[in-house]
Amino acid sequence: MNLADLNKVALAMVTPGKGILAADESSGTIKKRFDAIKVESTEENRRDYREMLFRSTEAMSKYVSGVILYDETIWQNAKDGTPLVKLIEQSGAIPGIKVDEGTQALPQCPGELVTVGLDKLAERLKKYYERGARFAKWRAVIDIGAGIPSMTAISVNAHALARYAALCQAAQIVPIVEPEVLMDGDHDIDRCYDVTQRVLNETFQELRVQRVELEGMVLKPNMAVSGKKCAKQASAEEVAEKTVRLLKACVPAAVPGIAFLSGGQSDEDATAHLNAMNRIGGLPSSLPWRLTFSYGRALQAAPQKAWSGKAENIAAGQRAFTHRARMNALASKGEWETGLEKKVA
């Protein structure tokens, strides 16, 4: 393992004014997205859609630092035969890969899940590296409900995240460590804060046990937000204040950067919350790590709708993607304003 090279990639992933595009939807998830825009989820259509994004020159070169790919996508070629990973590299962004294999029910813990995929992961990472991937992602899912999460669910998911991260670094791949506390449910922001604090503390404890080099990773956490069904939704200012306070309490300064997940927030909420956090932080040097985005749906919902599976709509889809990427890039510097959210023609 070359830690200096891992750190270089990790810092590039959280370059000021740029963020990570999460284009790693599973076949099942992207089918739901395509169903919503009445597009058949064929391999060709999935390829065409992602090629449209990766050929969005302005968005990719100015606002995107890296792209998380799904296993199918990393092996695909564009219509002209160019590997999709090469399109990403040519834009100046870094190709990455989702390596977890989804979730399974956690025995003895009703309603809770554990992420799987550690078997043969070392072999898969070697192949992904050869294909061009320089970072990877593994998502742990923690739900909030009556009597959950249990310490068992938090512990086993943190352990798996750390094992994955150690295997990535051994393969010279930067791990994105993603412990996601879901925003489903009617809990308030304080309950989210408390659960997320437990999850982050356990995750970093496991990372230390597994000897993961913190300088060679990126954290992808949820924000401290109200549950979707909570009667009182926290303001952007409260989300920002509590999330930054939470991170200061839990995340070591050695971590190069934090790339938030959107977690089901609306496009504009995800942008506004990130912007408010960076305004609290003030100058980048006032926080020990960089705060940026690693959004999936919050970057892609608008371009998917604009594209709608039609070749004649590619330019419109690319404009929509560029707009959302630019909005979040501004938010990563605390420079976003509501007035900038104009409709993209």
| The 3-state secondary structure of the chain, one letter per residue | CCHHHHHHHHHHHCCCCCEEEEECCCHHHHHHHHHHCCCCCCHHHHHHHHHHHHCCHHHHHHHEEEEEECHHHHCCECCCCCEHHHHHHHHCCEEEEECCCCEEECCCCCCCEEECCCCCHHHHHHHHHHHCCCEEEEEEEECCECCECCHHHHHHHHHHHHHHHHHHHHCCCEEEEEEEECCCCCCCHHHHHHHHHHHHHHHHHHHHHCCCCHHHCEECCCCCCCCCCCCCCCCHHHHHHHHHHHHHHHCCCCCCEEEECCCCCCHHHHHHHHHHHHHHHCCHHHCCCEEEEEECHHHHHHHHHHHCCCHHHHHHHHHHHHHHHHHHHHHCCCCCCHHHCCCCC
Query: For 280-317, b where at least 16 C-beta lie within 10 A, e where not — what string?
Result: bbeeeeebebbbbbbbbbbbbbbbbebbebeeebbebb
CB of 214 closer than 8 Å to CB of 11: no
Active site residues per annotation: 178, 220
Distance between CA atoms of residues 100 and 80, nearest Å? 30
